[in-house]
Amino acid sequence: MPDEPVTAAAIARLIDHAILKPELTDAEVDADLDLAARWEVFSVCVRPSDVPRAVARLAGTPVAVGTVIGFPHGTTSTAAKVAESRQAIADGASELDMVLHIGRLRSGDVQAVADDVRAVVEAADGRVVKVILETAYLDDDQVTAGAKAAEAGGASFVKTSTGFGGGGATLHHLALMRDAVSPAVRLKASGGVRGLETLLEMRAAGVDRFGTSATETILTDAQRLESGAAASGAEDASSY
């Protein structure tokens, strides 16, 4: 992963563009969806009620539509998370980012956490499920236990944060998560990923996907870096 090129297109395919703020108007959601389509990011992660809107507006683009489950606190019942997952899938979502039950994890009830995850994974019926740990609320042992519980429940990804919990992704937590799960489980960094330098550091540490609302800033900087590298290469070639 560290050897991958720094091009705007390559970086865009690592990004889940977050459109989750509760106060966003329909017009603001549409503008963000158009931004995602313009940059051809991997996916958008939208509020559950916006899934049909996103699916319709992004039709014909390579951008996938994901949404959140049990967001942002993770404290809804397993039955509610399952119902929310089924509705999201019926509306056209292809990826689900669920918040695990943070309080149960901190209480040491890892089995309940894994069971909660497994129920959503089963409802997802083969679609990608990313499990949000909300690492800002956890100590190191809990981060490790949460990541392991997510894998035990069948998650495709473990993810750091909602972006609404007062803290975001850190290299320290990402290293703990990477060590806790098998190579089959991928990593998503979310919360505080606002610049290209941070993204590249985390990509080098093994992160596979990034949740951010700073997509345009990151990709504009990647585009500049790409243009600079191309210009430098042309200058080098002309010196021969």
Q: Which residues are catalytic?
A: 97, 159, 188
Q: Which residues face 64 on adjacent strands?
A: 43
For residue 236 the two structure tokens come to 């080098």
d(CA 168, CA 134): 8
CB 179 within 8 A of CB 187: no
Largest CA distance in the chain: 68
Sign, CA dihedral 122-145-66-187, equals negative
CB 219 within 8 A of CB 30: no
For the chain, the residue count is 240
Picking from 10, 92, 7, 103, the residue whose alpha carbon sits closest to that of residue 48 is 92
